[in-house]
A = this chain, B = another copy of it.
Amino acid sequence: MSNALATGDDLLRLLAAMANPHRLRIVAALSRYGVRHVSDLARLVGISRPLLYLHLEKLEQAGVIHSHLALSDDGKALRQVGILPFHVTLSPDLIARFADTLTDFKEKKG
């Protein structure tokens, strides 16, 4: 593994964040083209903004991306989003090591 995965819940959150075609495309796009603002990214990936927001939220909670507001040259507020590099070697062994610290119990929000 690598990226500060402390508990089984962290691993699960990462896996769940990745288990969706739109989110894989979002990560792929950011990986290839670097930082992009929300509307730009929505066009790049081909989905609506509201939907993109939903997916960005999950990616952010999993620690896969990061975002912040910034002013563009022409004075518009842009939410810039970029990747937070990660590197996890998925294997039965890794999973065995993290399974014990799996909380479960349906408690979502934080």
Taking Cβ atoms with an 8 Å cutoff, the residues of A that contact B are 8, 11-12, 14-16, 18-21, 24-25, 27-32, 83, 85-93, 95-96, 98-100, 102, 104
Contact = CB atoms under 8 A, between A and B. Distances in A.
Given A86-B90, A89-B87, A99 B18 contact: no
B91 A85 contact: yes
A100 B91 CA distance: 24
B18 A15 contact: yes
Contacts of A29: 99
A32 B95 CA distance: 10
Nearest to A106: B21
A86 B86 CA distance: 19
